[in-house]
Amino acid sequence: MLPAYDAIANVLLRWLGADIESNVRLAEFQPILRFPSNLLKLQRGVTTFGGVTLSPFEISHTGDLYVDKIILGPDATLGNGCTLLPGTLLASDTMVGNLTRVTRKTDSSYGSTVLLGIPGRHMPFVMPEETKKPCRTFEQRLYKVAPVVVNHSSVLMSRSNVLSGSILHGRNRLLPFTLVMKNDQLNFNTVWSGVPARQLI
């Protein structure tokens, strides 16, 4: 229907009545359409990956039908194949892991947390403000090691690569198949694509 992460998806959802703030990135548009738009709120910086399901209703063991809003806080990230049931409220910087099911009973009042499992549970680790990862290169037959710094709320999408010495200053998004060259510095709150990486927004 629409290509992954197409900005027109946000425009269409707003037109249908969804409350969608800026910098929201949706991998797949069609599954989001199955949820009532007037009950959906996606705050600034939300990112979804493939196979995300927003369930429009829940049926209890006694046969009761439950319908409610789904609200995703700023910079929330939904992993591949996760399911959100009605009444889900995610705090800011929450990461929902692959194949995780989040219900209205899932306590996600803490920010900067990771939810995993069925049902989703808090993991005993938090997302760091900054990540430093040593990277290696072979240059003129010399082995060199330099760190890559990835700051808060940055998203590296499928098959994106970051070479040694690079710094992502925070809230950066690398679209699929993006290559960040050695010693590049990506400004705060920017979107990048291409080989080599070029700033889109």
pLDDT score, position 4? 79
Here the tokens at position 45 are 């910086």
Length of the chain: 201
pLDDT score, position 140? 63
pTM for the model: 0.69
Classify domain 130-199 by CATH architecture.
3 Solenoid (2.160)
Residues paired with residue 138 on neighbouring β-strands, in sequence order: 143
Please, where in the chain does CATH 2.160.10.10 lie?
Answer: 8-126, 130-199
The torsion defined by the Cα of 170, 50, 31 and 154, in degrees rounded to 10, comes to 0
Q: Tell me the HSE value of 122 on the side-chain side, using a 13 A CA sphere.
A: 15
pLDDT score, position 33? 83
Fold of 8-126: UDP N-Acetylglucosamine Acyltransferase; domain 1 (2.160.10)
Q: In angstroms, what is the C-alpha Rg of the chain?
A: 18
pLDDT score, position 182? 87
User: Mean pLDDT, consecutive 10-residue segments, the chain of 201 residues?
Assistant: 81 91 88 86 91 88 89 91 92 90 85 86 70 64 78 84 89 89 91 91 77
pLDDT score, position 176? 87
Rounded distance between C-alpha atoms, residue 154 and residue 170, angstroms: 5
* Termini Cα distance of the chain: 24
Q: Which residue has tokens 């700033």?
A: 199
pLDDT score, position 125? 65
Q: Is 109 left (phi over 0), alpha (psi -120 to 50) or beta?
A: alpha
- Quick check: 148 and 165 in contact, CB under 8 A? yes
Here the tokens at position 18 are 């969804």
Q: Residue 153, Cβ neighbours under 10 Å: how many?
A: 23
Rounded distance between C-alpha atoms, residue 55 and residue 91, angstroms: 19
Q: Which residue has tokens 């993006």?
A: 178
Instruction: Mention every residue, 6+ apart, whose C-beta is less than 8 A from residue 97.
Output: 79, 82, 114, 115, 116, 117, 120
pLDDT score, position 198? 93
Q: Residue type for 146, please?
A: A
